[in-house]
Structure 1
Amino acid sequence: MIGMTSTSSPAAQAADIAEALFISAGGVGSAPVPVLAYAAGADHLARREALRPVYEAIVARIGAPTLLGGAAGGPSVRWCTPEKILLLSGDHTRAQLSVHDADEFERDEWWTFDRTQLGSAGEPSGFDALPYTWQLDRKGPGAAPSWTYNGVFVAGSWDHATTGLELMLAAWVEQYPVQAPGDWIGFTLWTARDWRRDMIVSYTPADHGRELAVCIDDRRVEQTEERRVQMHERGWQTLDEHQWWRTKLPETDPAAPRLIAELTIAECRARKATGPNELRAHDISAGDDGALWLTGLGLPTHPSRGEHY
């Protein structure tokens, strides 16, 4: 039986388990194996730093993953061959490893995406049901799945759009620095009814104390005192010399993802957008390295991953 022992560190044990599951024959379809239990009450940063040595030990033992990524509750990292997929996943209580038949896993995941509904206004959102909300393909070793979900989940209400963006930002804070240390991640947001004024939403771990940020091009608007008061009341902090309004918040604040999401959506609504379907996320990038897909953002993205049938 594969599992944790008490004779070595959690990181070393996790590496042993990953090697046994991925390199050795067998194990496909068995129950997930816990590799890390988070301390009771651990916050997002504590969970991130607890997972970091475990993740690094796994990579040192079996190599870099094929696909990086994460879900609303935890990581979704895959090491793939044509025959099997080793998945590092988890939630706010633990991280775990599981190994799957590649064809069955791809098919089951596709159907999970296809039947998931984000819900209507007043209903709970369905973001936590998605197998992953973001995925980054940096052409890592192995064989990336040939059958992927190419659809786009668009929130049916402004509340759900805010929730989707909040969960995406929170996932980046907890998951991204472990998987892609040193890199920034973000996208540009376009509004159909005010298409010449871009917003940029980003997470930059190296910008200490100001990691989560949103900014908007306001060059076409006269910066009167009334305008400044209006923008400050909406949640914007500063106006720079290029006439971009900016708000930056620390990753240490657990409310920061929500505040950035609320400000972003409020600005879109102030620019006369009537629904999330009128927005477009584009220039989606993770350190200008690889293809980043924001499947669970809750907003239309351009380009999409491909045609969804």
Structure 2
Amino acid sequence: MRCTSHSIYPRPHLRHGCSMNTVATAWPPLAVLAHRLLHHPTEADLHRDPITLDRHWETLFPDSADAGRSQLSLAALIERIGPPSQYGGGVNGPDIRWHTPSHTVILNVRTGGGLQLSARGLPAVEASDTKRFSTGAEDLGPEAGNRGDLPYLWRLRPCGTGEPPPETPLAQGWDELQGALETLLGAWCQHLEALIGEDDAGFTIDHGDGQLIAMVSPRDDIAVFADRRDGTDRDADHLRRMIARGWHGFAPVLCWWDANFDRTAAGAASAARLVVDELRARGVRDPRALRLIRATLGSNGGLLDLPGSGIAVDDRAAVQ
């Protein structure tokens, strides 16, 4: 993939057809701070608490044509300091990072939705993320909100650079897996479109004797698919059982069962419940036996990590 500032660009900037030079050049405090932390951080900067910004993260993505040129937008910030090395997000909102050979600048969201900005040396970032993923794995339970302790649920590295993929905290039971999938899909519903635009995001789960797919489309909804391992719509009794379980129908051309849900928190919960119900109906005994064999976001390439899925990544699969 050829990595440029146009490879992955915030939706508000593209939505209104703004070129890079339409953004105002009088930089706001956020861009000034980020530029200094990226290019001239002091030793104190690398150890101080994150700088809290009196702004909700949604202000990074203004929704009108005039606001699309706002100096407060992520588009303006990117013009000032360049495209991020990593886009991602968690329970609270987006997590956006710029990497240098020595340190990382992080723009993320604290509890309540407010933005914060920080700079950390690379060893400190890796140690912090590793600890939070490890601690999060120990503290996970059936409640979806427990994944709020993870630094991020998903991340896209457009150029495949940055810290190595974190260890995925595996779901130890079905309630925990359902909570993990609900939280991941819910996060995509919340901020995927704002960060990435109209690209679809999805992943494929392999249970050893078949596959299920979950996708979130900013242009449409949440979609779940299951292969035809358990039969087709030609078997009337089986069709009734599948519909009762939550599937909406069978697509003969694709030979997959499918179901669609609103791109909302309630839709994410319903989609996660259907995935778990189908896996259990197929005789899968332990969610730790599942493997994530594919994860994709759009067609621009890059590497997509899903540590919030609760499912182990198949070592033989390229997750991209």
Q: Distance in 1 between matches of 2:141 and 2:76?
A: 43
Contact 2:212–2:226 (Cα < 8 Å) also in 1: yes
Structure 1 residue 34, shift from structure 2 partner: 3.0
Structure 1 residue 182, shift from structure 2 partner: 2.2
User: Identity over the aligned pairs, expressed in percent?
Assistant: 26
Q: Deviations over 1:96-150 (max 9, x none)?
A: 211112222222322332343344766887422111221211117xx623xx354
Q: What is the letter of the counterpart of residue 88 of structure 1? A: L
Q: Which moved more, 1:182-191 or 1:263-272?
A: 182-191
Q: Deviations over 1:181-223 (max 9, x none)?
A: 221111111112xx1x32111111123xxx2110112265143
Give the structure 1 partner of residue 252 of structure 2. 241
Give the structure 2 partner of residue 168 of structure 1. 184
Give the structure 2 partner of residue 52 of structure 1. 61
Aligned mate of 1:204, from 203, 206, 217: 217
Give the structure 2 partner of residue 104 of structure 1. 124
Contact 1:76–1:132 (Cα < 8 Å) also in 2: yes
TM-score, structure 1 normalization: 0.80
Q: Distance in 2 between matches of 1:13 and 1:113?
A: 32
Q: Quickly say closer, same or farther: Cα 1:121–1:32, change in 2 above 3 A.
A: closer
Q: What is the letter of the counterpart of residue 282 of structure 1? A: I
User: RMSD of the TM alignment (CA)?
Assistant: 2.7
Alignment gaps of 5+ in structure 2: 1-23, 63-72
Q: Quickly say closer, same or farther: Cα 1:201–1:74, change in 2 above 3 A.
A: same
Aligned mate of 2:224, from 188, 191, 214: 214
Q: Distance in 1 between matches of 2:28 and 2:193?
A: 21
Say how many residue pairs are matched. 277
Q: Quickly say closer, same or farther: Cα 1:149–1:293, change in 2 above 3 A.
A: closer
Q: Distance in 1 between matches of 2:93 and 2:217?
A: 19
Give the structure 2 partner of residue 144 of structure 1. 162
Q: What is the letter of the counterpart of residue 132 of structure 1? A: Y
Instruction: Give the 3-state SS of the residue equivalent to 1:37 in structure 2.
Output: strand
Q: Deviations over 1:62-94 (max 9, x none)?
A: 110111212222222110112221101114421
Give the structure 1 partner of residue 309 of structure 2. 297
Q: What is the letter of the counterpart of residue 93 of structure 2? A: G
Q: Distance in 2 between matches of 1:126 and 1:76?
A: 18
Q: Quickly say closer, same or farther: Cα 1:71–1:122, change in 2 above 3 A.
A: closer
Q: Does 1:153 align with 2:153?
A: no
Contact 1:293–1:305 (Cα < 8 Å) also in 2: no
Contact 1:118–1:125 (Cα < 8 Å) also in 2: no
Aligned mate of 1:130, from 139, 147, 150: 150
Give the structure 1 partner of residue 11 of structure 2. none
Contact 2:189–2:265 (Cα < 8 Å) also in 1: no
Q: Distance in 2 between matches of 1:120 and 1:174?
A: 22
Contact 1:157–1:276 (Cα < 8 Å) also in 2: yes
Q: Does 1:33 align with 2:45?
A: no
Structure 1 residue 302, shift from structure 2 partner: 1.8
Q: Distance in 1 between matches of 2:284 and 2:100?
A: 44
